Amino acid sequence: MAEHALSQELLCPEGGRSLSYLRHLAKLQLLKGDYSSMQFFKPLIYEQDADVWALNGHRHYLQGAFTEAKESYEWSLNILKNPSDSHIVFLRLGSIYLMQEKLQELEEAEDALMEANHLNAENAEVWAYLSLICLKVSKQLQHSDSLSQFKSCLQVDSCFETSIEINV
């Protein structure tokens, strides 16, 4: 169905290969896991569009290229208008910083995850990552607060639909 809608967009006189069309095509290919077909996307990265940068970050993140994902996510947040899925951008950026485990980047991870938390305070995955950061930087009081909030949010589906195991 999505392919049909995109083909109709191409045939439309005011449509064509516009930035909107290419962005939707990239989203479709991302959802299908067809990362190699997203190579057409590279020239678009230089556009000052936060969603384009975020999509590029998602592509790299899902392929395990975390350094490239981090750069794209940071660029998407440096543009005046934040990406439409900024909560996912903040969450993934925070998880990348957490994986890198550098103290300065742990603080950046905490900032990114706090922003994700402000956008969606019911996301258990964000609370879990915040709890991990607090443990790593020895913020025991904040850790116990984050852990209790995480446990209370477990009923809410995670935006990644992953299962998280807790051993406390």
Q: Give pLDDT tens digits for 97-112.
A: 878 766 567 777 788 8
Residues constituting the chain? 168
- CA-based angle 99:101:106, to the nearest 5? 100
Contact, 73 vs 101, CB < 8 A?
A: no
Return the DSSP state at 158.
Answer: P
Q: Considering all CA atoms of the chain, what is the largest pairwise distance in Å, rounded to the nearest integer?
A: 60
> Hey, where are the domains in the chain?
39-166
Question: What CATH number should be reported for the domain whose range is 39-166?
Answer: 1.25.40.10
pTM recorded for the entire structure = 0.56
Across the chain, mean pLDDT equals 73
Going by pLDDT thresholds of 50, 70 and 90, the confidence category of residue 66 is very high
Instruction: Provide mean pLDDT across the span 81-94.
Output: 86
Q: Quick one: the chain helix, strand, coil %, rounded to 5?
A: 70, 0, 30
Does residue 127 register a pLDDT over 60?
Answer: yes
Percentage of the chain beyond pLDDT 70 is 57
* CA distance readout (Å), 39 to 19, 44, 62, 132, 162: 15, 10, 15, 35, 28
CA 2 to chain centre: 22
